[in-house]
Chains A and B, each alone.
Chain A
């Protein structure tokens, strides 16, 4: 019975995907314009793009930058967020600055950063880094703040020093929240990557999209949308699986995905 429920749980997103593609197909057939290809056409174009070495390299380059930017952001943001959550002074110091940065569109920094660091990997990675940092800091902060004081007292009574308490008590206790932040950050990394490439128009997946549009290769445009969309959904689902494994013990709680950078 539970397995049946599991099957439904895994199948229903797939059904939703099929449903969306079907709606697309019907609308495209009904509109019947060259600029809006059918879902079937777009899907057929996907292997062509992935089979073209140049395009594939472009996309893989994007993903590489995304992974580096994401990893760097996570490595720096988690300690910072935890420190803010456990020390009122640290949080009083950083909070206003972070609040100021919060509404700044990170991908919009691309032209300015390109002025400084050139058009290479460094600027693209930096923008992704900036995009990912905030949600990870925020969630680590919330997670660390919510750790029960008495748990820390027990730790101190067992002879753990400050750093050990941080690593052995605060970090695991805040882990569910941290991983929620990382999941949001991962989706944001992809969004920032695509957006900054759309703005910079130098290389990468976002660039392929708009180049194809300029050249009226609408099949390619929609195929790229499918590829990027699938990437987002797969990354998110994979991370959710990982998270579920790491924090099986945690009570399920609500998650709100922040959706843009």
Chain B
């Protein structure tokens, strides 16, 4: 069993090593000039250096503030509206067509409007992150809450649960797997969107670092913020995965 698992891990590590090897080979055999593709060692060294510099950490902080603010607002709104729409038909009648129209809308197209309305600073970026992360969370909450087994609700009602408590005591916990799936998707989207927004127009943050480096053709510095945001995304995704596993320990097949 454990050797089999080891084999699976090795199997998965192969293509990643392969990509790194090709990257290294391209550089060392001179196919790609360092000005276009810096060797991986140099990029990771630079990343390690940067992590020690205050300026870089400030940029990470700016990105994280926007990321978390936008994501948390999206979670609150998405779960709230999703649950409300699943429980109250009147709200559903209003929310459903709005979501139908707004979900496939490329939110990034709204970014210029958000800049005009909220300025270049945090507010416009946070709003964009919220808009992008909102719909996966809202939709999965809605589906999760509307598919709660009717008999769970009946069991709780028969046990003396007042109707108004059913939402918190049965529907929300029963929809938790769906809600957390939506949150995971929303979190990765938040990471991506905050970075893009900073690339499009910003004075700080990881995305801005990439654009700044691109203007001066500092290829090493272009890779560093890109790898940083990807690692951040992976880490947050992993954290949420762990949280999900803990919260859903009673549910089948997590």
Contact = CB atoms under 8 A, between A and B. Distances in A.
Q: Consider the complex of A and B and state whether they touch directly, i.e. have CB atoms less than 8 Å apart.
A: yes
A82 interface: no
A16 B106 contact: no
Interface string A2-24: 00000000001101110110000
A112 B192 CA distance: 16
B116 interface: yes
B110 A225 contact: yes
A131 B214 CA distance: 21
Interface stretch (B149-157, B195-203, B242-250): B195-203
Contact of B15 (A94, A194, A221): A94
Contacts of A105: 191-193, 195-196, 226, 229-230
Given A92-B12, A105-B192, A191 B19 contact: no
B192 A229 contact: no
Contacts, number: 184
Given A92-B12, A232-B105, A199 B196 contact: yes
A213 B115 contact: yes
A259 interface: yes
B139 A256 contact: yes
Decide if the interface of chain B is mainly helix, strand, loop or mixed.
helix
Contact of A35 (B106, B116, B222): B116
A198 interface: yes
Interface stretch (B44-52, B54-62, B96-104, B160-168): B96-104
B196 A213 contact: no
Interface string A42-80: 000000000000000000000000000000000000000
Interface string A123-161: 000000000000000000000000000000000000000
Contact of B97 (A16, A112, A116): A16
Q: Which of A13, A115, A259 has the most CB of B within 10 A?
A: A259
A18 to B, nearest CB: 10
A180 interface: no
Given A89-B11, A257-B103, A103 B109 contact: no
Interface in B163-193: 181-182, 185, 188-189, 191-193
A11 to B, nearest CB: 9
Given A111-B214, A213-B112, A103 B230 contact: yes
Contact of A108 (B97, B147, B199): B199
Nearest to A183: B104
Nearest to B186: A259
A194 B197 CA distance: 12
A256 B207 contact: no
Contacts of A115: 36, 214, 217, 219
Contacts of A112: 214, 219, 222-223, 226
A232 B96 CA distance: 17
A38 interface: no
Contact of A229 (B105, B193, B199): B105
B233 A257 contact: no
A96 interface: yes
Given A92-B11, A199-B196, A258 B109 contact: no
Contacts of A108: 192, 195-196, 199, 207, 210, 226, 229
Contact of A103 (B143, B210, B237): B237
A94 B230 CA distance: 18
B143 A254 contact: yes
Interface in B1-25: 8, 11-16, 19
Nearest to A226: B109
Given A92-B8, A111-B211, A260 B132 contact: yes
A198 B108 contact: yes
A182 interface: no
11 contacts: A12-B96, A96-B12, A97-B16, A102-B188, A104-B226, A194-B106, A194-B109, A195-B196, A199-B199, A213-B115, A258-B189
Given A93-B12, A97-B15, 6 more contacts: A13-B101, A17-B101, A224-B109, A229-B110, A231-B106, A233-B104
Top-10 shortest CB links A-B: A103-B233, A236-B104, A96-B12, A12-B97, A16-B97, A111-B214, A254-B143, A228-B109, A105-B192, A92-B11
Interface of B: 8, 11-16, 19, 36-37, 93, 96-98, 100-113, 115-117, 132-133, 135-136, 139-140, 143, 147, 181-182, 185, 188-189, 191-193, 195-196, 199-200, 207, 210-211, 214, 217, 219, 222-223, 226, 229-230, 232-234, 237
Interface of A: 12-13, 15-17, 19-20, 35-36, 89, 92-97, 99-100, 102-109, 111-112, 115-116, 187, 190-191, 194-195, 198-199, 206, 209-210, 213, 218, 221-222, 224-225, 228-229, 231-233, 235-237, 254-261
